[in-house]
Structure 1
Amino acid sequence: MLASSEGALRHAFSNGITAFLFAATGSLAILITVGRGGGLAPADIASWIFGAYGLGGLLTLWMCWRYRQPLGMAWTIPGALLLPPALDHLSFAEVIGACWVTGILMAVLGASGVVNRVMSRVPMPIVMGMVAGVFLPFGLRVVTAFGELPAVAAITLGTFVLFTVLPALGRRVPPVLAALIAGVAATVLLGGMQPLGASAGLLAQPRLCAPAFSVQAMLELVVPMAVTVLAIQNAQGFAVLQQAGHAPPVRAVTVACGLGSLPFAAVGSVPTCLAGPVSGILVSSGARESHWLGGLVCGGAMVLFGLFAPAATRFALALPIALIGLLGGLAMLRVLQGAFQSAFRGRCPLGALVAFVVTVANVPILSIGAPFWGLVFAFVASALLEREDLRAAVQGQ
């Protein structure tokens, strides 16, 4: 029993650290790129980092502890990508005002139960087709990493395979954790670390951002951001958790995303969401009952990262994106496999295929990301061509 408990803790630690690194490198690079592209001042970007990671980590800790599930709460990347074009003609204060209204709207929708009813009527194969389309690029990074860092990728993948095929090793050190250690060591020894940026201090200095409310900002940003969180990112997270055997509290998570978005906006961050890829990593290995411990590890690391954002950002951005992508891809391989199996072995296979193809195509429409349209077009395709399957799936037969 003791050995089993120790193994569960090792998997939880491994998954939590990998999920954190995934969120604190590639996602961070996107945040900085979006901030710079939108013309934000360095102080505004630093405050956004504090909110996205520090406050996101606190929310993750609370949700994981309260519901004993791996509920990794983060900031919406697709929502952030709406900002650079909007900041061409809107002030930052107007954008923050739209984030406030988006948070309030999500909280109301969550408390009303609307989100629960909608989620219960979307067939799981269609949702998992969308999830497979979202996660496929992460899986492909296992291969593409060899084009950027062949030696590091070979050592990292070789270590993962070794600890996977030899159970005696895998019981002592989870394969992803072993691959993480080997990959970072190989990166340092082979000179793959990027130069550290200039120091901007040690502790974060969040700024309170006063909102401004304009009709143009409301019309342009509120609905796309709300749909992005509720119908794309949260839908991914819920589907991944359900696939792993969890019963995520849809209403509570939706309300938490809405209310959590308010302090996020107060320090200049976009709304919060249930992060699909982070959830996928947290449930990728170990006993289901201990997955929430990995969420605590991830949340705690995010809090520290947010508090020490100026210094931590320098080191996070020094790690090669290819290595973090490879580690994230390895962690999500089983999740990706499960998504394909759930999408195409049950009802509505055509709808699942449409959801997958539209999502992979990644063409936004009306400033709303492709995963949402994958769900819409898949539902339409099944309604026209798989009526019996769709009716049975909606009724839970």
Structure 2
Amino acid sequence: MFTPIERPTETPPAPGKILSDFGPVYASSGFIGWLFAVTAPVAIILAVGSGGGLSEGQIASWIFGVFFVNGLITILFCRLYRQPLAFFWTIPGTVLVGQSLTHLTFPEVVGAYYATAVLMLVLGATGSVKRAMELVPLPIVMGMVAGVFLRFGLDLVHAVFTDVAIAAPMVAIWLLLSALPWLGRRCPPIIGALLVGGLATIVLGRFDASASLQLELIRPVLQQPAWSLAAMVELVVPLAITVLVVQNGQGIAVLKTAGHEPPINAVAVACGIGSAITALVGGVSTCLTGPTNAILVGSGERRRQYVAGIVVGILAILFGLLAPTFTRLLLNAPKSLIATLAGLAMLRVLQTAFVTAFGSRFSLGALLAFLVTVADRPLLNIGAAFWGLVCGLAISWLMERADFAPKPKS
């Protein structure tokens, strides 16, 4: 039996009300939130797409889908619920797809996107999201996530050694802005790294200026799905977990901490619908973003923060429409710049994954999930991330049975 999706507690604001709630603080928060999304997360899409053998047109369509579609969803939800509900795409899922593209075709991956979308839609519409989130213990999930993310940390180290002139200044400015919070608030560390890396690339003459960089609107490349049992088994459950548990869980926690009440089931339904639409152009699954929402709730009055979310949505739509221009610009940059940018963006996430995985309960299961995922050896043509979850759950059930008991209430 379907349960009602959470209804907005207030009437959606009229355009005049949105304009009266608008202000420099919310414009700034929205711009910085959007700028974060178009730097390192886009670098991760480029790294995964290039490594998976996708064409420039396919990568541009992927970027168009995850910005344009999710920008529309962001505007709709921010207005309906009067909360800063920014939607983008699952970064762990993107990295997971990168592993899968080493032995699956892109149409098979797209087919798994559709199946994941249906699963999330059903879980959200039936109110089963919370129960589904409890099936796989979070430490085991994060053990798998740490295994998936590890190569980005390693690529960062390799980039520093192989291209010191570009990577080292990026790391240095990132460390400086991270170590001095008062300075980091004026220029977020990852954006500082991008600016310094771009400057070093230009000064050293490392940018490939042979390609045309004029403004170009997107001409989406529609992707035909292929239905593969191996892809379904390998990707659907892990992708749904990275969205509902890892990404949405982080975003919901950020919003609740700031005093908002995000509609959990409605968000899951939106992720399902958004994932199905972005899959048309090869985009990875939609999620409620944690980092961008954290930026949006970091300043201003709580009742007006939804406006910053609307700003993010508008800028995302514009960026998606111009995806070919930005894709070509970044693809012509040195690979070390992209690897360093993606690695720096993943450092804190990788740290959180390790702390969550090995902080207390289910640590042995988390360790096995991590090791199996890092080994990256497919079995039955199904990728290692899925087997990491399976092995982690199995070992915890055998060796850490007591950890499955509910925590005593304090």
TM-score by length of 1: 0.74
Measured against aligned partners, the alpha-carbon deviations of 1:283-304 in whole angstroms (never above 9, x if no partner) come to 5999499999987676555433
**C-alpha separation in 1, matches of 2:238 and 2:118:** 15
Aligned partner of 1:237 in structure 2 is 247
Amino acid of the structure 2 residue aligned with 1:237 = Q
- 1:144 maps onto 2:158 in alignment: yes
Partner amino acid, structure 2, of 1:346:
S
Question: How many residue pairs align between the two structures?
Answer: 377
Q: Which residue does 1:132 correspond to in 2?
A: 146
Q: Distance in 1 between matches of 2:307 and 2:154?
A: 28
Contact 2:39 2:191 in 1 (8 A): no
TM-superposed deviation, 1:48: 4.9
Offset of residue 117 of structure 1: 0.8
Conserved? CA contact 1:17–1:301, under 8 Å: no
The structure 2 residue matched to 1:188, chosen from 186, 202, 218, is 202
AA of the residue aligned to 2:127: G
Task: Quickly say closer, same or farther: Cα 1:35–1:51, change in 2 above 3 A.
Answer: farther
1:273 is matched with: 286
Pick from 305, 319, 324 the counterpart of residue 338 of structure 2.
324
Cα distance change of structure 1 residues 307 and 171 upon mapping to structure 2, 3 Å threshold: closer
**Structure-1 residue corresponding to 2:39:** 21
| Kept in 2: contact 1:22–1:325 (CA 8 A) | no
Letter aligned with residue 361 of structure 1: A
Matches within 5 A, 1:84-123: 100=114, 102-123=116-137
Separation in structure 2 between the aligned mates of residue 121 and residue 396 of structure 1, nearest angstrom: 20
Name the CA shift for 1:133/1:63 in 2 (closer, same or farther; >3 Å). Answer: farther
> Aligned to 1:72, what secondary structure does the other structure show?
strand
Map 1:235-384 → 2, pairs under 5 A? 235-238=245-248, 240-241=250-251, 250-265=264-279, 267-270=280-283, 272-274=285-287, 279=290, 287=298, 300-384=314-398
2:230–2:382 contact (8 Å) kept in structure 1: no
Q: Which has the higher helix share?
A: 1
Contact 2:173 2:192 in 1 (8 A): yes
- Distance in 2 (alpha carbons) for counterparts of 1:288 and 1:374: 39
How far, CA to CA, are the matches of 2:356 and 2:137 in structure 1?
11
Structure 1 residue 202, shift from structure 2 partner: 1.4
Is the Cα contact below 8 Å between 2:213 and 2:329 reproduced in 1? no
When the two structures are superposed, what TM-score results if normalisation uses the length of structure 2? 0.72
> In the TM superposition, what is the alpha-carbon distance from 1:333 to its structure 2 partner?
2.8
Amino acid at match of 2:150: L
Identical pairs, percent = 38
Deviations 1:13-69 (A, max 9, x none): 5564233222333413543665658xxxx8777655533442244335545665535
1:68 is aligned, of 60, 75, 84, to: 84
In 2, distance between residues paired with 1:346 and 1:150? 38
> 1:104 is paired with a residue of what secondary structure?
helix
Q: Tell me what 2:237 maps to.
A: 227
Displacement of 1:11 in angstroms is 7.5
Structure 2 CA distance for aligned equivalents of residues 192 and 257 of structure 1: 39
2:54 is aligned with 1:31: no
Q: Which ranges of structure 1 fall in alignment gaps of 5 or more residues?
A: none
- 1:306 maps to a residue whose letter is G
Q: Report deviation, 1:379.
A: 1.7
SS at match of 1:346: coil
Deviations 1:315-335 (A, max 9, x none): 121223322332333344333
User: Alpha-carbon deviation of 1:146?
Assistant: 0.9
Structure 2 SS opposite 1:363: coil
Cα separation, 2, equivalents of 1:369 and 1:103: 20
Report deviation, 1:85. Answer: 6.5
Supply the distance in 2 between the matched residues of 1:46 and 1:15 (Cα, whole angstroms): 21
**RMSD between superposed Cα atoms in Å:** 4.2
Gaps of 5+ in 2: 1-22
